[in-house]
Structure 1
Amino acid sequence: MLREFLMSSDEMIMTNHTAANTTGAEDWTQVYVVVSWIQLVMAVLSILGSGSIICCLMLRGLSRKPELQPLMLLSVADLLLAVCWLIGSILFFKDCTSRSTHCYYLHIVEQVFYMASFFYTLYYVWNLYKGIKEKYCSCMDGYSVQVSNRVSTAGKIVALVSCLLPVLLMLPVIIEGDISHCQANLTEPYRCLMMHTGALFLMSDEQPMSRSCLYLHTYHITVFLITVLVTLLSITVLVVKARCIYRRIVTSNGYLGSEQRASFSVMDRRMVLYPLVFVFCWGPAVILAFLRVADPAACQGKAGVVLYILQALTSASQGFFNCLVYGWIRVYLRRARRTFSSRDADTQTPLLRAQKRRGYQTLQTLA
C-alpha cells in the first residue's frame, strides 16, 4: 500500500499551491497512519528505555551523584519528550473539536523538551570531559582528586540554564501565536504527528498562513536547526579533546600493553558513539526542517514521504538509543575493560607488573 503510494507520489506534486488536490485524501492519509504507528511504537520504546535509567538511579540512590546527575536529567528530558510523541500519535486517531489548539501547544512543549535534551546531552559530554581532564591532571601531578558527593555550583547553573533556555526561546511562539491565532492552522490530524514541518501534500481547502504565523513557523524551525548544529559541534569538539587527553595518558609511559590498548579501544568506542547516535536520531529531522525553510516544494512527494517516515523512526526513538549509549552500553564497556584487565594482570611477570602499575592505575581512574 505504501509502495504504491511512493510510486505514484511524483505525479501528485502540485506546481501551483492554490490548485486543488485531485488525488483523494485517502492516498496521502495512509502515510500518516504508518507514521503514527511508528511514532507510537518508538515513543513506547523511548519511555521504557529512559524510564529504566531513571528507576535504576533512583532505586540505588545515585540520582544526586555529581557524575550521574547529567544522565538523570537527560533521561528525564527524554522521558517527557517521548510522552509528548505518544500523546501526538494518540491524538491522530482521536476526533476532537479542539485538536488544533492541543496540537499547537503540544508542538511547543515538544520543542522545549527536545531542546532541553540537546543541552543535557551536551552537559553530559561536558561533564565527562571535565572529569577526564581533572583526573588526568591529578594523575600526572601526583595529587588526588577531591571527590565530592554534591553537585558543584557550576553544574547546577548549567542544569538550570539547560532547562530555562528552551522555555525562553519558545516564549515568542506562545505569545505571538496566541495574538495571531496561529493554532487555527493546525486543523488537520497530521499536525499532531512529530514536529510541525508541514504537510506532504497541500489540500485545496487549506487556509494559507498569515504573515506573522509564517514568521513564527520559520523561527520555530530556525531555532531547532541552530540548537542541533551548536549541540553537534560542541559534542564533537569535547569528544575529540577528551580522546586526545586519553591518548596522552596511554602513551605517557612509553609502553603500550594489552590493557592500555584495550582501555583506549573502549574509550574510542564510547567517544564515537556519542556524536553518531545524535546524528542518527536527528539527521532526518534536520534535513526535513532545512528543506521546509529553503525549498518547501522539495518536502512534497517521494522525498518528503521517506524523510517523514525516517524522522518518525529516529527522532521518536531518541530516549531508547540514549539509554543504550549513555547508560547500559557504558556499564557493559566498563565491565569488559575490567574483565580484560584482570585477565591481563594474571599473565604479567612481577617486574613487568611493577613497571606498568602506575599506568594501569591512571587508566583505571579515567576509564
Structure 2
Amino acid sequence: MFRKSSPAVDTDVENQKAHSGYCVEVFSAIQWIQFVMATLSVIGSSSLITYVVFQNIQKSPEIRPLFYLSFSDLLLGICWLIEALLYGTSAANKDIVCYNLQAVGQIFYISSFLYTVSYIWYLYKELRMKHNQHGQSTFPLVIDYTCQVGQIAIILSSLIPLLLMIPVFCLGNASGCFHNFSQNHRCILMYSPPSAMAELLPSANTSVCSTLYFYGLTIFLASFLLSLLTIVILLIQAQTLYKKFVKLTGFLGSEQWAVIHVMEQRVRFYPVAFFCCWGPAVILMIIKLTKAQDTKLHMALYVLQALTASSQGLLNSGVYGWTQYNFYQLKQEARRDADTQTPLLCSQKRFYSRGLDPLESTLAFATSTSTIL
C-alpha cells in the first residue's frame, strides 16, 4: 500500500519549487546586471587610468592614490566580469576558479577601501595646507612629511589586504573549501551563507571552511566600518575648513578658489560614491548573519548589490570627470570675469591677493594644481 501525501506537504513542495524557480530567475538577472555593470566599471576605470597616464600626472602626490584606486577598481571589475561569465557554464575546475576569484576580489575591494581613505586624506591635507598659507608660511618639511605619509599609506593599502587573505588562499585550498563552491550561485555572490558549508563534499574540512567564511566576512565588515568612520571624520574636518574658506572668498584668487572648490567637491562626492557602492552589500551581509535563508528582501538586496558593488570604477571615474568639468567651468568663468573688469578692479584684486597671502607662489600653486586636477 502506498501512503498518500497530505495536502499540506504537497503545498509546501509546490511552494519550495516556486521559490526555487523564482530564485533561479533572480540570479540569472543578477548575472547579466553584474556583467553589464562590471563592463562599465572596467571602461570607466580604464579611461581614468588612460587620462592620468596621457597627462603624465600619475606621480603627483594627489593623483597617486587616485591612480592606484582606479587600478584596483579595474582589477576588481575584471574579477566581477569573469565571475559573471563563468556563472552557468560547465568550465573545467570551475569550483577552484570561483573560490580563488572571490578571494582575489576581496583583496581588491579592501585595497579600494584603503585607497579611498588615502585619497580623501590627501585632499583634506591639501585644504588644510591652503588654509594655513593665509596665516603663516608652509614649511617644505611639512609638505615632505605629507608626501612620505601618503607613500607609506599607498604601500600599506596594497600589502595589508594581501597579508589578510593569505589564510583564505592557503588553508582554503588545502582544506578543499572550493568543492561545490560554484553551486547555489556562489560564483556571482560576494559571500555564500554559512548554511552552504553543509553542502561541501566529505573531502572538505567543514570546520576550517566555516571558520574561513566568517574570517573573510569579519575582515570585510571591519575594513568597511573603519574606512567609513575615517572618511566621515575627514569629511567633517574638510567641511569645517571649507566654511572658513567661504568667508575668505573675496580675498582669494579666482583660480585658487576654483582649486579649493574642486577639492571640497571631491572630498564630499567620493565618500558618497563609496557608501553607495558598498552600503547595500554590507546591509545584506549583516542581514545574512541574522537570517541565512533567502527571502524576497535578500533577493532585492542581491540585485541592488549587483548594481552598486560592480560599479565602483564607473562611479569613481564619474566623480573625477564631473569635478574636473566643474573646475574648467570655474576657470572659464574667472577668465570671463577678469576680461570684463576695469583696470582699477583688476589692480585692487591683485593687491589684495598679494597682501593677504605671504607666499608669492600661491597663484602659481593654483595654476600648477590646475594641471594636476
Tell me, yes or no, if the aligned pair for 2:258 and 2:327 is still in contact at 8 Å. Answer: no
How many angstroms apart in 2 are the aligned matches of 1:224 and 1:302? Answer: 24
How many angstroms apart in 1 are the aligned matches of 2:12 and 2:107? Answer: 33
In the alignment, what sits opposite 1:95?
90
Judge which range, 139-148 or 61-70, deviates more.
139-148
How far the C-alpha of 1:217 sits from its partner, in A, is: 0.9
Q: Once the two structures are superposed, what CA deviation does each residue of 1:49-107 show, in whole Å capped at 9, x if it has no partner?
A: 00001111112222122221111111100000000000000100321242111111110
Q: Is there any run of 5+ residues in structure 2 with no aligned partner, and where? A: 1-10
In the alignment, what sits opposite 1:246?
242
Q: Which has the larger radius of gyration?
A: 2
In the alignment, what sits opposite 2:316?
322
Match of 1:107 among 102, 107, 114: 102
In the alignment, what sits opposite 2:80?
85
User: Residue type of the partner of 1:234?
Assistant: T
User: Residue type of the partner of 1:120?
Assistant: Y
In the superposition, the TM-score normalised over structure 1's length comes to 0.82
How far the C-alpha of 1:136 sits from its partner, in A, is: 2.4
Tell me, yes or no, if the aligned pair for 2:95 and 2:181 is still in contact at 8 Å. Answer: yes
| CA distance 1:44–1:187, change in 2 (3 Å) | closer
Q: Once the two structures are superposed, what CA deviation does each residue of 1:5-53 show, in whole Å capped at 9, x if it has no partner?
A: xxxxxxx999xxxxx9544754321111100100010011011100001
How far the C-alpha of 1:157 sits from its partner, in A, is: 1.7
Tell me, yes or no, if the aligned pair for 1:47 and 1:79 is still in contact at 8 Å. Answer: yes
How many angstroms apart in 1 are the aligned matches of 2:250 and 2:324? Answer: 29
| CA distance 1:216–1:142, change in 2 (3 Å) | closer
| CA distance 1:63–1:290, change in 2 (3 Å) | same
Match of 2:35 among 32, 35, 40: 40
Match of 2:231 among 224, 231, 235: 235
How many angstroms apart in 2 are the aligned matches of 1:160 and 1:264? Answer: 27
User: Residue type of the partner of 1:188?
Assistant: Q
1:342 correspondence with 2:335 = yes
How many angstroms apart in 2 are the aligned matches of 1:138 and 1:130? Answer: 12
| CA distance 1:278–1:329, change in 2 (3 Å) | same
How far the C-alpha of 1:342 sits from its partner, in A, is: 2.7
Q: Once the two structures are superposed, what CA deviation does each residue of 1:206-239 show, in whole Å capped at 9, x if it has no partner?
A: 4498222222111111111111111111112112
How many angstroms apart in 1 are the aligned matches of 2:19 and 2:240? Answer: 58
Q: Is there any run of 5+ residues in structure 1 with no aligned partner, and where? A: 1-11, 15-19
How many angstroms apart in 2 are the aligned matches of 1:62 and 1:13? Answer: 62
| CA distance 1:322–1:290, change in 2 (3 Å) | same
How many angstroms apart in 1 are the aligned matches of 2:118 and 2:263? Answer: 18
Alignment of 1:131-150 (within 5 A): 131-142=126-137
Tell me, yes or no, if the aligned pair for 1:43 and 1:316 is still in contact at 8 Å. Answer: yes
In the alignment, what sits opposite 1:216?
212
SS of the equivalent of 1:123 reads helix
In the alignment, what sits opposite 2:178?
183
Indicate the RMSD between aligned Cα atoms, in angstroms: 3.5
User: Residue type of the partner of 2:286?
Assistant: F
Tell me, yes or no, if the aligned pair for 1:65 and 1:151 is still in contact at 8 Å. Answer: no
User: Residue type of the partner of 1:55?
Assistant: T
How many angstroms apart in 1 are the aligned matches of 2:116 and 2:298? Answer: 28
How far the C-alpha of 1:304 sits from its partner, in A, is: 0.8
SS of the equivalent of 2:190 reads coil
Tell me, yes or no, if the aligned pair for 1:66 and 1:149 is still in contact at 8 Å. Answer: no
How many angstroms apart in 2 are the aligned matches of 1:136 and 1:80? Answer: 37
| CA distance 1:197–1:285, change in 2 (3 Å) | farther
In the superposition, the TM-score normalised over structure 2's length comes to 0.80
SS of the equivalent of 2:191 reads coil
Alignment of 1:276-291 (within 5 A): 276-291=272-287
How many angstroms apart in 2 are the aligned matches of 1:258 and 1:157? Answer: 34
How far the C-alpha of 1:149 sits from its partner, in A, is: 11
Match of 2:165 among 151, 160, 170: 170
How many angstroms apart in 1 are the aligned matches of 2:251 and 2:56? Answer: 40
How many angstroms apart in 1 are the aligned matches of 2:33 and 2:351? Answer: 56
Tell me, yes or no, if the aligned pair for 1:64 and 1:151 is still in contact at 8 Å. Answer: no
Q: Once the two structures are superposed, what CA deviation does each residue of 1:172-225 show, in whole Å capped at 9, x if it has no partner?
A: 2222213332111414161110412439xx89x944982222221111111111
